[in-house]
Amino acid sequence: MKLIFIIMFSLSMLTVKPEVDWRRSFNNAYNISCCGESDCTKATNNSTGYVGELVFTERFGNIVVNRVHPSLDGRPYICTTGCFFSPIGV
């Protein structure tokens, strides 16, 4: 039984996407979790990530930024919830 649990736990860890997990710990301006499995995309390099900015994405169209957080992997992201993850130091 213990071996089955260890195998099942190991398999479940294979499906976790670490690049999504860190974004889930942040909330937008309305206290809603920033990201789920399918509602974030990399933002264009010319996006600045200020509150009120309209960011265009090919995947989701236009999204208005309502909360800015630091990007822990150094890449800019925008979520359909309005969260913008800006590279640290930008």
- pLDDT tens sequence across 18-75: 555 788 889 999 999 988 668 888 888 778 888 999 998 888 999 999 999 998 888 8
pLDDT for 54: 92
Task: Give the domain range for residue 80.
Answer: 2-87
Distance CA 66, CA 49 (A): 9
Kindly provide the b/e burial profile for residues 49-88, where b requires at least 16 CB atoms within 10 angstroms of the residue's own CB: beeebebebeeeeebebbbbbebeeeebbbbbbbbbbbbe
Characterize the bridge pairing of strands 83-87 and 67-71.
Answer: parallel
Q: What's the total number of domains in the chain?
A: 1
